[in-house]
Amino acid sequence: MTILWCESVDARRVGFAVSRQVRRAVAKNRVRRRLREAYRATRAAAPARAMLVVIGKPSALSEPFATLANQLRGALAAIPGARA
């Protein structure tokens, strides 16, 4: 997973995208759903004033959800800024 971010004066905004390496639409939608749910579980780790884009990779399909959520939590915690 990759996270692109930039500081913002507005409240936090998040978008989800899936890599072209994930071929089928069903798989892309599953990756997007898993990322959204992982973000819901870890949103407290994200900065309060940032715009984020979370890009899912093919490994997001096969990893256990707890691992995916922990990776996302770690990535969000590495972004500087005040937390909500």
Three-class SS state of 15: strand
Helices (H), the chain: 25-42, 59-62, 65-77
The model's pLDDT over 11-41, given as tens digits with 9 standing for 90+, comes to 999 999 999 999 999 999 999 999 999 999 9
Which domains are seen in the chain, by residue range? 2-77 (3.30.230.10)
DSSP state of 44: G
Question: Could you tell me the pTM of the whole model?
Answer: 0.90
Report the pLDDT averaged over residues 74-78.
95
